[in-house]
């Protein structure tokens, strides 16, 4: 509904909210989406290149105070303007609606006790003021504009504190931020990985040059903070790219790794290997995924897309043999080491493309009883799923962080005679439009 105010400004009433927290408006028979607006709210917008929010005139009773000054600009969170309960309702509605043509049952959700300060991986970009003061920020959604952020509500609190202290040290030595436009300066990104179980941190400086000036002094000052920094790495990224880490690393303090624990097992984490970012969430996720297979101890199982071996190592006490498959060689090296430090002997890791490896197993007719697969956001491949079918694997546990590609892959499983035994979600990424799903599949009798 529109009420015209002045020529350039209009008052609108929000007709609905999208699953990712945007208000839906109808203007001149066109749908317009404005982030951060709730159903029923009246707003004033101005039409420039697009409709820009000027003010909220009538607030929804579901609105809560937004505790982040950058919420409107950053795009990292989608739901800070509503309670966690309202977010949960939106997520349930979205996932149940998305899956309804392939799965008819109500999908259970596990939500987090801590919906804030859960991200144990902090990745920020350096910027510089006109007076050459460094600041840290996050990229605005779909752009290269850096929004200055201090104390992000999703980042682990100690990692936030550490980032602020490191920034002060870098400012003390008058270091310069890299400028994409002019291709000058040094500091590109700061990455912190934080182990909540060990209270230890890994710090990475991503640089546009091969030398971090004042390196020795900076390392000394960071260690003197006494904030659990166990290792510091320089990473060189001279490419014009939105990928944060370059391929070349130099460890300038410590071993290059920190230790973390999940469900009582130890894992070494590096700078460039995948590791889940929500500790409370990952314990719930892995426990549920492993429980779903109802292992008896005599099975050979595959942990496909295994990263640093986490799921397979945790499941190893419940199976006869585990085979971990992962493309990233650095992750495989760590996975082998992780098995060793946990004294796990019934697991083998293979550095390979998961599809290729499963096709090879089809040629040798390897007997596999169950598989856990946890592919990246793009999902798996038709050939990988066909190979599972050819190997006659009876139980498949599909862990997914992207519901749309999960749905696509589940349709392939169904076309090959698999049925969905259960499907549930774990809210690993509260306040954002991301959710993790666990699906158990079996062969239809």
The residues assigned a catalytic role are: 401
Rounded least distance, CB 45 to ligand SAM, Å: 38
Rounded least distance, CB 304 to ligand SAM, Å: 7
Q: Which of 15, 199, 248, 353 binds ligand SAM (CB under 6 A)?
A: 353
Q: CB count, 10 Å around CB of 314?
A: 23
Cα separation, 270 vs 274, in Å, equals 8
Residues contacting 165, CB < 8 A, separation 6+: 222, 225, 227
Q: Which of 163, 212, 244, 306 binds ligand SAM (CB under 6 A)?
A: 306
Asked if 203 contacts 230 with a C-beta cutoff of 8 angstroms, the reply is no
| Tokens encoding 279 | 């500790």
Q: Which of residues 395-434 bind ligand SAM (CB under 6 A)?
A: 401
Determine if 387 is a binding residue for ligand SAM (CB under 6 A).
Answer: no
Determine if 274 is a binding residue for ligand SAM (CB under 6 A).
Answer: yes
Q: Which of 234, 326, 402, 424 binds ligand SAM (CB under 6 A)?
A: 326
Cα separation, 23 vs 54, in Å, equals 14
Name the one residue in this structure whose structure tokens are 């939106």.
Answer: 90
DSSP structural state of residue 360:
H
Determine if 305 is a binding residue for ligand SAM (CB under 6 A).
Answer: yes
Binding segment for ligand SAM (CB under 6 A), chosen from 136-144, 154-162, 371-379, 414-422, is: 371-379
Determine if 234 is a binding residue for ligand SAM (CB under 6 A).
Answer: no
SS3 of 264, please?
A: coil
Q: Which is nearer to ligand SAM, 149 or 370 (CB)?
A: 370
- 203: β partners: 192, 232
Closest CA to 19 of 68, 105, 88, 80: 88
Q: Which of 195, 310, 342, 386 binds ligand SAM (CB under 6 A)?
A: 310
Rounded least distance, CB 387 to ligand SAM, Å: 12
Size of the site for ligand SAM (CB under 6 A): 19
Closest CA to 336 of 308, 372, 358, 306: 308
Site for ligand SAM, rule CB under 6 A = 274-276, 305-307, 310-311, 325-328, 331, 353-354, 374-376, 401
């Amino acid at each position: 509904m529109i009420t015209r105010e002045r020529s350039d400004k209009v008052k609108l009433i929000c007709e609905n909210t999208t699953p990712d927290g945007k208000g839906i408006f109808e203007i001149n028979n066109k749908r317009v989406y404005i982030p951060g607006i709730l159903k029923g709210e009246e707003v004033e917008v101005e039409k420039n290149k697009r409709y820009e929010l000027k003010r909220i005139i009538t607030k929804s009773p579901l609105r809560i105070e937004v505790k982040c000054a950058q919420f409107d600009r950053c795009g990292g969170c989608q739901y800070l303007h509503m309670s966690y309960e309202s977010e949960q309702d939106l997520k349930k509605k979205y996932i149940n609606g998305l899956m309804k043509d392939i799965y008819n049952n109500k999908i259970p959700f596990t939500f987090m006790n801590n919906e804030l300060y859960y991200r144990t991986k902090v990745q920020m970009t350096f910027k510089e003021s006109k007076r050459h003061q460094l600041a840290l920020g996050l990229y605005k959604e779909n752009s290269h504009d850096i929004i200055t952020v201090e104390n992000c509500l999703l980042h682990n609190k100690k990692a936030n504190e550490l980032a602020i202290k490191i920034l002060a040290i870098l400012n003390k030595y008058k270091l310069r931020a890299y400028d994409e436009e002019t291709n000058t300066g040094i500091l590109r990104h700061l990455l912190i990985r934080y182990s909540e179980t060990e209270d230890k941190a890994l710090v990475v400086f991503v640089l546009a040059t091969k030398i971090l000036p004042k390196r020795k002094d900076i390392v000394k000052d960071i260690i003197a903070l006494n904030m659990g920094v166990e290792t510091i790495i320089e990473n060189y990224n001279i490419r014009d790219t939105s990928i944060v880490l370059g391929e070349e690393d130099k460890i300038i303090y410590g071993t290059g790794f920190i230790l973390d624990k999940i469900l009582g097992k130890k894992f070494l984490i590096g700078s460039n290997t995948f590791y889940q970012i929500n500790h409370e969430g990952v314990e719930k996720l892995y426990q549920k995924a492993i429980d779903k297979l109802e292992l008896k101890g005599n099975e050979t199982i595959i942990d496909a897309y295994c990263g640093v071996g986490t799921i397979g190592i945790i499941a190893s006490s419940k199976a006869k043999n585990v085979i971990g498959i992962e493309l990233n060689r650095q992750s495989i090296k760590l996975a082998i080491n992780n098995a060793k430090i946990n004294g796990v002997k019934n697991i083998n890791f293979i550095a390979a493309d998961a599809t290729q490896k499963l096709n090879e197993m089809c040629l040798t007719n390897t007997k596999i009883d169950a598989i856990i697969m946890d592919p990246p956001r793009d999902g798996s491949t038709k050939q990988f799923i066909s190979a599972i079918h050819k190997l006659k694997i009876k139980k498949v546990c599909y862990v997914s962080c992207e519901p749309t590609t999960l749905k696509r892959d589940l349709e392939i499983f169904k076309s090959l005679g698999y049925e969905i035994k259960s499907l549930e979600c774990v809210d690993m990424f509260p306040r954002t439009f991301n959710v993790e799903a666990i699906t158990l599949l079996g062969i239809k009798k």
